[in-house]
Structure 1
Amino acid sequence: MPDSLFPRGAGLGGPPVLTAGCPFSAVELQAMESDGVVRRILAQVYVPAAARATAQLRARALAQTLTPRVRERTVAGRMTAAWVLGCAPAPERPVMLVESTRRLARLGTGDRLLVHEVRFGDLDVVDIAGLRVTSGLRTAIDLALHSEERTALPVLRRLLDHPGLGLTPALVSAGLEAMPRQPHKERARRVLGCLGSPEGATPEGRPAGGPLERGPSC
């Protein structure tokens, strides 16, 4: 792929992340995708076809879909954070978390995002390529609490297998117990208790299935 295809400086900090109008139109990007020059990484965000998918690249791609105000005030969380970490499929509607002391109405997110009010601890948020994302531990706890069991288990297993996160079932369980007044806590305990069961089993003992459970492994 010739270097002249992308604007000068587009690759600073990593491979270029392209959206319609920066500098190619949506039609041009779709044609380039058909030709195998670029690939879609998230929504209408493209990267060079040969670019290695990393947490940094996914974070930069997600940041391209957010307004500066949303980037400043929210944190990528739940399945969206798991995607940034490489353990879940790309989200159709990114989940962004906002500290409960802030006002959601002022964010102006429209219907492109799912935004939830939460409380963060001191170690719950990390910076990845300039995007705030929930830590691996907080992400795992949130998935156990808020995601449907059959969807959460395969992603939780990938998070536990991720060599850079240092997670164990005991650590995630301890983090869950340290969070006070959480709804669905008993269900989350049940989900975490299944992490030692054979791959693909659900809390009810049924084989797991469905498109969300076939995402990329870490």
Structure 2
Amino acid sequence: MTPRLPPVLSAIDLPLVELQCAALDGELFALDQCFCSIDEFDTIHLRARALGVILDARIIAERMTAAWVWGAALNPPSRHQLCVAIGARTRPHASLNALLREVVIGDDDIDTVSGVSVTSRLRTVLDLARFSEPFGVREQSAVRVLMDEGALDYEHCVSALTSRRNLPQKRVALERLAALQTPVPLACVS
């Protein structure tokens, strides 16, 4: 019986040059900073594992990084967006190009996907609506997909925002979510 490779390979497993050559040969495909066999399907679990290779357990994927893990964005952000609970005292691995914020976050705002902490779909929607600059097509599309796949309607998101006191950028988020309620013109759908 032939030993099976792990689903996600990194420079920890094999030299980076070998991984890149295998990708050029069509045996692997790149997934963020890792590589996967072409037999693997690009799923939320595979994306989370690719992040988990270099993330400390206290670090949480948020905003566009979380949207990418959830499958609401095709590609990871050029700079990963991560957070930790206030007082966590940790940093991402030096090889990871990332922004790290300390945030107030509850257990119900965090899901675990293949051992990696990711903001819930609802928290991701709220954070994208509150903090994305710009709130462009990519971010709007991610919010729509997260709301659809998470069975989150507009009223649920507004209720989650308004129930939290002293929330920065609440008004901006409410305006952005309201604007997303207008139907997309058919000319924009392709």
For the superposition of Structure 1 and Structure 2, which TM-score range results when normalised by the shorter chain? 0.7 to 0.9
Equivalence for 1:107: 91
Quote how far apart the aligned CAs of 1:30 are: 1.1
Task: Give the alignment partner of residue 61 of structure 1, picking from 50, 58, 67.
Answer: 50
Aligned partners of 2:139 and 2:158: how far apart in 1?
A: 15
**8 Å CA contact 2:86, 2:104 repeated in 1:** yes
Percentage identity across aligned positions? 33
Alignment partner, residue 91 of structure 1: 77
**Do the aligned partners of 1:20 and 1:26 also contact (CA within 8 Å) in 2?**
yes
Q: Secondary structure at the match of 1:196?
A: coil
After TM superposition, which residue ranges in structure 1, 4 or more long, deviate above 6 angstroms? none
Q: Is 1:167 matched with 2:156? A: no
Give the distance between the partners of 1:200 and 1:129, measured in 2 at CA.
37
* C-alpha contact 2:64 2:77 (8 A) present in aligned 1: yes
When normalised by structure 2's length, the TM-score is: 0.86
Pairing partner for 1:33 from 12, 20, 23: 23
1:123 & 1:108 partners in 2: Cα distance?
23
Distance in 2, Cα, partners of 1:126 & 1:169: 21
Equivalent residue for 1:42?
32
Q: CA deviation at 1:18?
A: 0.6
| RMSD of equivalent CA atoms | 2.2
Deviation for aligned residue 1:195 = 1.8
Kept after mapping to 2: 8 A contact 1:87/1:158: yes
> 1:190 and 1:72, CA in 2 relative to 1: closer, same or farther beyond 3 A?
same
* Partner Cα distance (1:108, 1:32) in 2: 27
**Structure 2 residue aligned with 1:129:** 114
Aligned length: 183
Residue 18 of structure 1: aligned partner: 9
Please give the per-residue CA displacement for 1:193-217, whole angstroms capped at 9, x wherever unaligned. Answer: 022223379xxxxx7xxxxxxxxxx
5+ long unaligned stretches in structure 2? none
Residues 79 and 99, structure 2, Cα contact 8 Å, conserved in 1:
yes
| Structure 1 segments unaligned to the other structure (5+ residues) | 202-206, 208-218
* Distance in 2, Cα, partners of 1:199 & 1:31: 43
CA distance in 1, matches of 2:111, 2:26: 33
Question: Does 2:57 match 1:72?
Answer: yes
Identify if the C-alpha distance between structure 1 residues 28 and 139 changes in structure 2 by more than 3 Å, giving closer, same or farther: same
CA shift, 1:91, in A, is 2.3
Deviations 1:164-205 (A, max 9, x none): x2211211111111222122221111110022223379xxxx
Partner of 1:51: 40
Q: Is the 8 A contact 2:91 2:100 kept in 1?
A: no
Amino acid at match of 2:87: T
1:183 aligns with 2:168: yes
